[in-house]
Structure 1
Amino acid sequence: MKGISYRRYGGPEVLEYGELPDPKVGPDQVLVKVRAAAVNPVDWKCREGLLDAVLDAVFPVIPGWDVSGVVVQPGVAVPEFAVGDEVIGCVREDFLSRGTFAEYVAAPVRTLARKPRGVSFEEAAGLPLAGLTAYQVLVRTLRVRRGETVLVHAAAGGVGSLAVQIAAHLGARVIGTAGERNHEYVRTLGGEPVTYGEGLGERVRGIAPDGVEAVFDTVGGDTLKTSADLLAPEGRLASVADPQVRAHGGRYCFVRPDAEDLSRLSELAEQGAVSVHVQQVFPLECAADAQRLSQEGRTRGKIVVTVDWEPDEGAVWAGDDERALYSTSQEGTF
């Protein structure tokens, strides 16, 4: 198969496009023919070795965690999906090696859900990681309730834009920090925009004089102290960008692949409660350019890479012989 890989840590120049081994399909995996894969900041952070302390790299590494595509082959222990099903996934394992920037990916079934109907593959690819991050922080960590006021930082970004929509869907009043050029965009998401930077605290107090019940931080650094100072009594603070949030009484969060949460996000997308704005689409072979753009940190919504798609005809995959071991003639063996 064709794909993107890197054999050492470094900048975008270490990314190579070429032939890679076809993935094997384990019992609990699903072989997905990739239609689109979203770019996330974690991709270039992994590529540069910034997550080496928590995620071992088995080189060559295929980057990418987000995917939308079509099931080619379910593993022998996977009754949830069938050939031809359209799926989305946040395909993160406990090491770096088998990512989604390729023609095919063998995804653990725990990382997948059905693709939302009526949503393009490009838009669907941008939902899993950013959507799960937003959903898990708002619902499971901050426990946002109807009528509360929530402050979302970087509200026009990939995670922030989905957090604004989800918080609004939960019935919260949402204030979102963004540059002035993105203020109208934040309004379309259901948020009240405020300009980030010096004086942010005063601007937020100007529209929420009693403070906010919850803050969703995606920036870190000096923003953490400002956020903590804006909390109402018993307010909650969470960050996905900076572990130092703990020093301000908050919680640091890292997204976890979860099929149930992802299915809920798919339902929200089908209902029109959340949507993904795709800023730019790159062909797979230009993934280095896509990561460069992501690394600039000024993206509205998501950046996506796409894979040329043609139906498979008579393809035989590694694992087909193993499937025979579990045929009806072997029933009762295990």
Structure 2
Amino acid sequence: MNTNVKNKTMKVLIAKEQGKPFIMGETDKPQPADHQVLIKIKSVGLNPLDLKIKNGKAAHAKVILPAVPGIDMSGIVVETGKDVHDFKPGDEVFGMIGSIGGHQGTLAEYITADADHISLKPENVSFQEAAAIPLLFITAWEALVDQINIQTGQTVLIHGGSGGVGHIAIQIAAAKGAKVFSTVSPDHSELIQNYGAEPIDYTTLSAVQYVQKYTDGKGFDAVIDTVGSSVLDDSFSAVKQYTGHVVSILGWGSHSLAPLSFRNAKYSGVFTLYPMLSGERKKYHGDILKEASRHLENGKVKVRLHPQYYSLEQANEAFALLENRKAAGKVIINIF
């Protein structure tokens, strides 16, 4: 028997100081409120945002140290509040529920979550795959479906298609019937093709050159920027006149809108963290995860995982992969 469960405590990872290694700790196991479920966490998918929080470079996430880190998770419901009717003990679930805005992070043995903020895990998907999905899919869905309303036959350029959000966005756009292109380095061309996109070598072609080569100079119907900085500036020059739409998940700098204005085109931003910070629209995140479940079940979306999994005690090693840019896919920590 797990003595932590018996004693009503649990193991957690703690970010005590900015830029310092995590430490292991122990705290009281949380209890679900009337509208919540208690989840035994099985796997956690790490995000670049987790690393930024650790290093004090994500003030917008409103995490005050010391804190338990971790945003995404998959696990098993072990207890439900009295107002919860859609889940029961034993249900396998996944969600983006931790860390942001002062919530307990997912790098722990247990966590509570609002019942409308999570979704059932597809049976054909592992806990590791499910834990890698939430932040990536929600962000890509909000960009492609909510902001652009992507349609069959439209041309979509996705910058950074080999990255986390990028490779999920390619698959969603392809599943919607769009013709998808993605800027990547040559060593990722085959990977991008397997996801359903035409690779564009940004190391040899400028924005003007690839717009001419792939759209006859007309521009793309939609551009998704997952990189920010000068890539967002390139995006403004790559969309179609009148109907073009640029969406960025990293549009936080200062940019000239002149190229976009001369095209009579649109710009939108995506800020995936807002529901966790404000408490608003949490249910919508749960609804998007139900869409993720459907796409995972029918094989239209697959997530790329780093081949090695880590334990909670190996978290510093796992985060070093992110910091050194050595991860070959989503890094997973198992909490079994």
Q: TM-score range by the shorter chain?
A: 0.7 to 0.9
Structure-to-structure mapping, 1:226-245, within 5 angstroms: 226-233=234-241, 234-244=243-253
TM norm structure 2: 0.85
Distance in 1, Cα, partners of 2:99 & 2:12: 18
Count of residue pairs the alignment pairs up: 305
1:88-110 alpha-carbon deviations (Å, 9 max, x no partner): 11104762340111111111223
Judged with a 3 Å threshold, the aligned counterparts in structure 2 of structure 1 residues 295 and 286 are, in CA distance, closer, same or farther, namely same
Contact 1:158 1:300 in 2 (8 A): no
Structure-to-structure mapping, 1:110-129, within 5 angstroms: 110-129=116-135
Distance in 1, Cα, partners of 2:170 & 2:269: 19
Distance in 2, Cα, partners of 1:288 & 1:86: 27
Sequence identity (%): 33
Equivalent position of 1:254 in the other structure: 271
TM norm structure 1: 0.86
Equivalent position of 2:264 in the other structure: none
Contact 1:157 1:302 in 2 (8 A): no
1:213 aligns with 2:221: yes
Q: Which amino acid is 1:254 matched to? A: F
Aligned-partner SS, 1:254? coil
Equivalent position of 1:265 in the other structure: 292
1:185-229 alpha-carbon deviations (Å, 9 max, x no partner): 111100111123463311343122221011110101111111111
Judged with a 3 Å threshold, the aligned counterparts in structure 2 of structure 1 residues 245 and 165 are, in CA distance, closer, same or farther, namely farther
Contact 2:69 2:98 in 1 (8 A): no
> Structure 1: any 5+ residue segments left out of the alignment?
309-334
Deviates more, 1:122-131 or 1:248-257: 248-257
Equivalent position of 1:169 in the other structure: 175
Q: Which amino acid is 2:321 matched to? A: L
Deviation at 1:149, TM superposition (A): 0.6
Contact 2:185 2:203 in 1 (8 A): no
> Structure 2: any 5+ residue segments left out of the alignment?
1-9, 261-266, 276-281
Aligned-partner SS, 1:60? coil
Q: Which amino acid is 1:21 matched to? A: D
Q: Which amino acid is 2:55 matched to? A: E
- The CA RMSD over aligned residues, in Å, is 1.9
Distance in 2, Cα, partners of 1:236 & 1:57: 32
Distance in 2, Cα, partners of 1:19 & 1:223: 43
Equivalent position of 1:2 in the other structure: 11
Contact 1:245 1:251 in 2 (8 A): no
Q: Which amino acid is 1:286 matched to? A: Q
1:288 aligns with 2:316: yes
Equivalent position of 1:313 in the other structure: none
